[in-house]
Amino acid sequence: MRTVTVDILNDRALDLLKDLELLKVIRLRRDSNTQDIYGNDLISKYKGSMQKQSISEVDEQLNNIRNEWE
């Protein structure tokens, strides 16, 4: 395994890199001196903001929301 540093010149290039990561061809990691490759540290930003719910509760809420639009 080799490590390289890449300068992203276009957002489309970042999208391609993310696709390669999903295919498990490469691994993207955050450098301590740069911003997170996904723009933000979303896990820490939203951690604890939602409570765990059962699937039936989520389905019920979705159905209520859908019915409100009719």
The model's pLDDT over 12-66, given as tens digits with 9 standing for 90+, comes to 998 899 999 999 999 988 765 555 555 556 666 777 777 888 999 999 999 999 9
Distance from C-alpha of 70 to C-alpha of 60, rounded to nearest angstrom: 16
Specify the 3-state DSSP secondary structure of 10. Answer: coil
CB distance 37 to 14 below 8 Å: yes
**Number of residues assigned to the chain:** 70
- Cα 6 from chain centroid (whole Å): 20
pLDDT given for residue 22 in this prediction? 92
Residue with tokens 């489309």: 12
11, amino acid identity: D
